[in-house]
Amino acid sequence: MTEHSSKYTTGLSVGTANSTPLSPVSLVKRTAQAYPNAPAILFDGLTRTWRETYARCLRLAGGLRRQGIGPDSTVAVLCRNLPAAVELSYAVPMSRGVLNMINTRLDAEGIAFILDHGEAEVLFVDSGLEAVARAALEGASVSPLVIGIEDPEELFEQPCELGYEAFIDASTPVAEDDLLPQDERAALALNYTSGTTGNPKGVVYHHRGAYLNAVGNTLEWSLPQHPRYLWTLPLFHCNGWCFPWTIAAKAGLNVCLRGPTGPAILDAIEATDITHMCGAPIVLNMATTEAESRGVTLPRNIEFMTAGAAPPAAVLARAEAVGFAIIHVYGLTEVYGPCAVCAWREEWDVEPAEERARLRARQGVNYVVLEELSVRDPETLQEVPADGETMGEVMFRGNVVMSGYLKNPDATSAAFAGGHFRSGDLGVRHPDGHVELKDRSKDIIITGGENVSSIEVEGVLYKHPAVAEAAVVAAPDDKWGETPVAFVERKPGVEADASELIAFCRERLAHFKCPTRVEFTELPKTVTGKIQKFELRRLVS
Amino acid sequence: MTEHSSKYTTGLSVGTANSTPLSPVSLVKRTAQAYPNAPAILFDGLTRTWRETYARCLRLAGGLRRQGIGPDSTVAVLCRNLPAAVELSYAVPMSRGVLNMINTRLDAEGIAFILDHGEAEVLFVDSGLEAVARAALEGASVSPLVIGIEDPEELFEQPCELGYEAFIDASTPVAEDDLLPQDERAALALNYTSGTTGNPKGVVYHHRGAYLNAVGNTLEWSLPQHPRYLWTLPLFHCNGWCFPWTIAAKAGLNVCLRGPTGPAILDAIEATDITHMCGAPIVLNMATTEAESRGVTLPRNIEFMTAGAAPPAAVLARAEAVGFAIIHVYGLTEVYGPCAVCAWREEWDVEPAEERARLRARQGVNYVVLEELSVRDPETLQEVPADGETMGEVMFRGNVVMSGYLKNPDATSAAFAGGHFRSGDLGVRHPDGHVELKDRSKDIIITGGENVSSIEVEGVLYKHPAVAEAAVVAAPDDKWGETPVAFVERKPGVEADASELIAFCRERLAHFKCPTRVEFTELPKTVTGKIQKFELRRLVS
């Protein structure tokens, strides 16, 4: 054995020839060069190629830089899934500014908070959102430069001083050799959490993470070249789960949509030969229902990526019957959208249908680009045993975890305490290694010292033929500390009263887990169809 | 407009939660966890799953660390494409040592040079290469620990003191949370160039680059999940073009082969439902010829990635007829194998066959993971115009460019002079952006002050019905400086003399480009079927 020299650490080189920052900007540039004539964006019959899209983005970026936008500037965008929202997903990173896509369903107060907190210097506004944008700007302290994106179907009532197309026309393109950030960990995007409790937090992504998760989507979905991708997922959701850059990496087509209604989705599928789409289970359900009502099966299998809670088995079966092929992913704003996937194993093909439904409803394993998905005791940080029963907090480690919360070092430290990102979700690890969510930590009900998973109780309620939707929350209880209370929407025309549902639960669950009260009501939901349990908790506290 | 704060550069975090080194090791670990029961390696009827393969690699890595292997250690491997060569591609990086796969067709002197230059501390030897390995060790100054890999079909004549399986059995696995390098730019692999002139140079790869090129292969090839990959490409070639890690990323199957003969390839295809394979054009030709002689078409289209000079149009047509789908890539040892690809454009589908053949024979555009492929004036570094005519040197920039040449700072500086990696290949850029190679710079013939591309002259010779293979080199010439001389293998039974071939060329080329001499001879070739022009130049100098 020879003595160690330092041959591998001296005399080698890191320079411009062999080191470039990872950035989604490179994905756009490369596709524009490799496939200039391939279609990039389609909307209302207008198609732009990758060459045209890239040229417009270079101008947009040049115009933004001219306005002083740089690495510490926030560029806010309040826009439905129109072509401009896709272009700005490419152009703002090219300007080296930070892209802040704002939830288009927020009220003026919520938007004003974000504009102020992010210190927006520019705001792009969709004419379809004129009223709320004006109200937000009136309430905000900042005075960003406003650039109006005019939807021909819904013109501005008060014309904007500066229009999107005029801004592009008047701008000088950025030089192509000057597109990349200095540092791949420079901020790329700012995405506010939904803020169900307290003010929303501003999650910061960097170029490296977005590049990797964009590529990660191609790996998990085994994306073909030139996918035809329908924008059913809001671009303000974790930058559309990084899909603008994923579609760029595969030289695909972004098919834009004003809104993901059932008819709009089916029309787009029929008109443009869609191959892939993403969305919450509710979007899958809408598209399926519309296909059923039209009596059509899809012209080809369409890959549908859905996140979070898996669609119920019955919805899955209906969706597959009309022609959707489902992949189930999981993530949070803090991890660039999805970065866990229920990775299907060929040996599961032979399981009975019910077992297959159970297996595919799990959140699964880490994305290839995520280093680690784990379930840990939140105190000791020890991993829980892989027994499918011991609950712990779901934690993430890897390059697709946020840089932190903007101007909130305390929340950032708390989220990263112990060297993992703590999701606040509770779950188990099964013996086969897959992680399954059991609840949000704040949704756990602690009754008589026992932990009750609200999801488990809801799962039983959903089996009752009268239950359309159900949510179980903790109500304060003098004797037990907390007690489970169920909120239920009944199916039309099916009767069941509270005592029947409670008895139904007691036949199937330990008695301490069963609701002690059932309220029949319409369930409050977020814009993405998530039930807002915090509203329900208010009703019982 | 607000004043700039430094909100995006302070208060955020880079730590273990959100930053991990990019390394191909993560690809192996993740696939073993996500698809533990999927087959990883198949050879001679023996299959090992990803779980088993990962477990064996952890032990191998533990054993190597126990031997003192670390970030500055070279672990040499002299092994055909047996399962051990795949396992070591995973295990040596896990040990944090540097993997040096040695060309199995070198002579003892060449191997000894590499062992000494790389300061090998361990040498894994395939029993099929026992004699040359023993001779190399006798001639080398270093005395690495030798570990014998026994091929049951070709046992060691002198048993090794330490056998591969015994080494695995006796070793303690590395801890799974201790697999990654400290720095993603730590050395991963050492690959020696073929050294057609002077001593071979040791090209150093890092973990980051190998991760990215492994993923890059999945992007360019749109790899499905669980590809069944036949190891027709030597693993000592740029680490099999990073394909051990590509196959890990897609949870694929490595089907090993003692050697890529036509019958072995066809047998493997028939026995194991191969989906993908790589190799030089000569391998494609062998497989095609074997399929033709068996009178079979392949059971499914098999994707074949071939590199360097494109196969002639006639070979392509035959290969496609038996069922190969060809993708044409280009690279060098210094850029992790292929990192340019002839990216097909849908609009080319309508071109006539001859034009399609011309388009697909080009080297194309940068891989998604390569920042830039350019053709530049080697003096001024200006890009040549995209006119398809102006020659320049092909240059690379990006993360999949080597760290440098081991213990050779002068060669490293020269290769990176001006901030690009200079390939030494000459080419043009076409108006559509694709790069086409014209020659190696040392293969250009300069006659009477005019540059003559030897490839252009060879292209004409190949059109003559008597020519099986042709190579044109420069011979010194008193009057013109240099003059083209052609070396030709004739097809059996077809006559043509030198004057006829020269006349044939003069009808089709400017006269100064035509050979002034034609020699009929068997052409000397490298192990991968490249014609060794330096041998021919010796004959005429």
**Tell me, what's the pLDDT at B1?**
39
Consecutive H or E run containing B365 = strand B365-366
Size of interface A-B (CB pairs under 8 A): 219
- pLDDT tens column, B383-399: 999 999 999 999 999 99
**Tell me, what's the pLDDT at B2?**
43
| More confident position, A280 or A275 | A275
Consecutive H or E run containing A28 = helix A24-34
**Tell me, what's the pLDDT at A5?**
59
Cα–Cα distance for residue pair B210/B403, rounded to 1 Å: 11
- Which runs of consecutive H residues, i.e. helices, occur in A386-497? 409-416, 454-462
Tell me the C-alpha to C-alpha distance, in Å, between residue A158 and each of A162, A258, B58.
Answer: 12, 21, 67
| In contact, A401 and A334? CB cutoff 8 Å | yes
Does A443 score more than 90 pLDDT?
no
| In contact, A388 and A430? CB cutoff 8 Å | yes
Give the gap in angstroms from C-alpha B19 to the nearest C-alpha of chain A: 5
**Tell me, what's the pLDDT at A347?**
94
Residue B39 C-alpha from the chain's centroid: 25
**How large is the angle between the packed helices B207-221 and A207-221, nearest 10 degrees?**
40
Residue B361 sits at φ, ψ, to 5 deg, of -85, -5
Residue B231 sits at φ, ψ, to 5 deg, of -85, 70
As a whole-number percent, the residues of chain B with pLDDT over 90 amount to 74
Residues in chain B closer than 8 A to A224 (CB atoms)? 222
Read off the pLDDT of each residue in A90-119 and give the average, rounded to a whole number.
96
Residues in chain B closer than 8 A to A39 (CB atoms)? none
Consecutive H or E run containing B369 = none
B250 to A398: CB separation less than 8 angstroms, yes or no: no
- pLDDT tens column, A473-485: 999 888 787 899 9
- Write down the ipTM of this complex: 0.89
**Tell me, what's the pLDDT at A3?**
46
Out of A2, A67, A73, closest to residue B119 by CB:
A2
- Sort strands A253-255 and A228-230 into parallel, antiparallel or unpaired: parallel
B406 to A30: CB separation less than 8 angstroms, yes or no: no
| In contact, B18 and A403? CB cutoff 8 Å | yes
| More confident position, B456 or B25 | B25
Most confident segment among A85-94, A293-302, A439-448: A85-94
Residue B234 C-alpha from the chain's centroid: 8
| In contact, A514 and A491? CB cutoff 8 Å | no
A35 to B403: CB separation less than 8 angstroms, yes or no: no
- In B398-501 the beta strands, taken as DSSP E runs, fall at 404-405, 421-429, 435-440, 445-447, 450-452, 467-477, 481-490
Cα–Cα distance for residue pair A348/B84, rounded to 1 Å: 30
**Tell me, what's the pLDDT at A462?**
85
Indicate the pLDDT class of residue B308, thresholds 50, 70 and 90: low
For an interface test with A, the pick among B3, B5, B7, B221 (most A C-beta atoms closer than 10 Å) comes out as B7
Q: What is the mean pLDDT of chain A?
A: 92
A37 to B345: CB separation less than 8 angstroms, yes or no: yes
Q: Sort A193 into a burial class: Cβ within 10 Å, 0-12 / 13-18 / 19+.
A: middle
- pLDDT tens column, B102-114: 999 888 999 999 9
Please give the single-letter amino acid code of residue A310: A
Cα–Cα distance for residue pair B233/B103, rounded to 1 Å: 12
Residues in chain B closer than 8 A to A404 (CB atoms)? 11-13
Out of A15, A38, A398, closest to residue B416 by CB:
A15
Does A52 score more than 60 pLDDT?
yes
Q: What is the mean pLDDT of chain B?
A: 92
- pLDDT tens column, B214-263: 999 999 999 999 999 999 999 999 999 999 999 999 999 999 999 999 99
**Tell me, what's the pLDDT at B452?**
80
Q: Which residue of A has its CA nearest to B372?
A: A30
**Tell me, what's the pLDDT at B317?**
85
Cα–Cα distance for residue pair A417/A422, rounded to 1 Å: 8
Residues in chain B closer than 8 A to A8 (CB atoms)? 71-72, 98, 186-187, 204, 406
**Tell me, what's the pLDDT at A198?**
60
As a whole-number percent, the residues of chain A with pLDDT over 70 amount to 97
- pLDDT tens column, A116-138: 999 999 999 999 999 999 999 99
> A191: how many CB neighbours lie within 10 A of its CB?
26
> B361: how many CB neighbours lie within 10 A of its CB?
18
Among residues B71, B411, B396, B402, the alpha carbon closest in space to that of B205 is found at B402
**Tell me, what's the pLDDT at A195?**
56
Does A37 score more than 90 pLDDT?
yes
Out of B2, B121, B185, closest to residue A14 by CB:
B185
Indicate the pLDDT class of residue A1, thresholds 50, 70 and 90: very low
- pLDDT tens column, A352-379: 988 888 898 899 999 999 999 999 999 9
Out of A5, A27, A30, closest to residue B72 by CB:
A5
- pLDDT tens column, B277-297: 999 888 898 899 999 999 988
Please give the single-letter amino acid code of residue B10: T
The two three-digit tokens of residue B318, written as one number: 């035959």
Mapped onto helix, strand or coil, the DSSP state of residue A24 is: helix
The two three-digit tokens of residue A180, written as one number: 């990349």
DSSP code, position B163: B
- pLDDT tens column, A212-266: 999 999 999 999 999 999 999 999 999 999 999 999 999 999 999 999 999 999 9
Rg of chain A, C-alpha, whole Å? 24
Q: How many helices (H) and strands (E) does chain A have?
A: 17, 25
Instruction: Please name the residues in contact with B313: beta carbons below 8 A apart, sequence gap of 6 or more.
Output: B354, B357, B361
Does A2 score more than 50 pLDDT?
no
Out of B4, B73, B397, closest to residue A20 by CB:
B397
B20 to A371: CB separation less than 8 angstroms, yes or no: yes
Please state which of the ranges B39-43, B140-144, B199-203, B332-336 shows the lowest mean pLDDT.
B199-203
For an interface test with A, the pick among B6, B8, B121, B179 (most A C-beta atoms closer than 10 Å) comes out as B8
Q: If DSSP states are collapsed to H, E and C, what string results for B97-158?
A: CEEEECCCCCCHHHHHHHHHHHCEEEEEEEHHHHHHHHHHHHHCCCCCEEEEECECCECCCC
The two three-digit tokens of residue A405, written as one number: 């919360």
Read off the pLDDT of each residue in A169-192 and give the average, rounded to a whole number.
97
Q: Which residue of A has its CA nearest to B26?
A: A371
Does B195 score more than 60 pLDDT?
no
Residues in chain A closer than 8 A to B32 (CB atoms)? none
Does B459 score more than 90 pLDDT?
no
Residues in chain B closer than 8 A to A13 (CB atoms)? 403-404, 412-413, 416
- pLDDT tens column, A310-351: 777 777 888 999 999 999 999 999 999 999 999 999 999 999
Among residues B196, B234, B185, the alpha carbon closest in space to that of B77 is found at B234
Does B511 score more than 50 pLDDT?
yes
Cα–Cα distance for residue pair B134/A117, rounded to 1 Å: 70
